[in-house]
Amino acid sequence: MSLLKKLLIAATTAALGSIALAVPAQADTVSVSPPGANDWSCVPSAAHPYPVILVPGTFESMAKNWATMSPTLKQAGYCVFALDYGQYNGVDASGPIADSAKQLAPFVDAVLASTKASQVDLVGHSQGGMMPRYYLGFLGGAKKVHQLIGIAPSNHGTRGVIVPGPDGLPALTSASPTACPACADQTAGSAFLQKLNSIGDTVKGPFYTVISTTHDEVVTPYQTQALSSSASQVTNLVIQDKCPADPIEHDQTPNDPVVQQLVLEALSVPNGPADPAYQPSCV
């Protein structure tokens, strides 16, 4: 899908969505929440004590990225929150990733203050599944996060070709730091990724679940999404190991019913990552 088409879809979603309180990327930006998210009166239940924060991927708004995941989690009984971040040249989640992590930090604090919860669970797509690791490792977030669930996360960058944007738009998908800093940061071997992974794939405290698809055409090879740590702290899942015929690719993974089942299962584990033996329904 072209960037132009993505922007048009995001704009349409925003026009139809309901506006709710969130922490915007810029002070003059109005963020539109996905259905079920950012109810600041929500009180976590005993069954679901950790509020869930949804973190979108590169170029994505929360309204588009989490249009189906958010109401699914809300219906399951979770307090759900989401944010937009990293706006650069008017495009969401394309700014320097270290700066984006600094925007995640106060949002987590706001959710904890509002819900009175002890920790949050983070569910992120693509960059949104990797960026929180900087928050955990370098911004003191580890004690505030119970679990990080990454859906097709760019944990070790991508070796794929990042192509320029369409005519009439800046080359936002270019790896040039001046065009799209987040793209450059997610290139395998970048200075940002070297720093991120210099302390290891995980930090003490949070649990981690990674959900990948063999059909990923953006974060490649898909095996680089996996995190290294003990089985008690990390579960790496490949969708096709559970449902071999699932054709889902990178962009649509948060909307995949199989992925949503895997996320719900991971969130249900009180003291650990997802159960690697769990079998979702291959719908």
How many whole angstroms separate alpha carbon 235 and alpha carbon 279?
A: 14
Task: Give burial (CB, 10 Å; 0-12/13-18/19+) of 264.
Answer: middle
Residue 3 pLDDT > 70: no
Tell me the C-alpha to C-alpha distance, in Å, between residue 90 and each of 17, 172, 199: 19, 10, 32
163 pLDDT exceeds 70? no
Angular region, 157: left φ>0, alpha ψ -120 to 50, beta rest? left
Q: Which helix (H) or strand (E) holds 53?
A: strand 52-55
Q: Model pTM greater than 0.85?
A: yes
**What mean pLDDT is reported for the chain?**
87
DSSP 3-state assignment of 211? strand
Tokens representing 74 are: 């809300």
Average confidence (pLDDT) over 219-232: 97
State the pLDDT at residue 283: 78
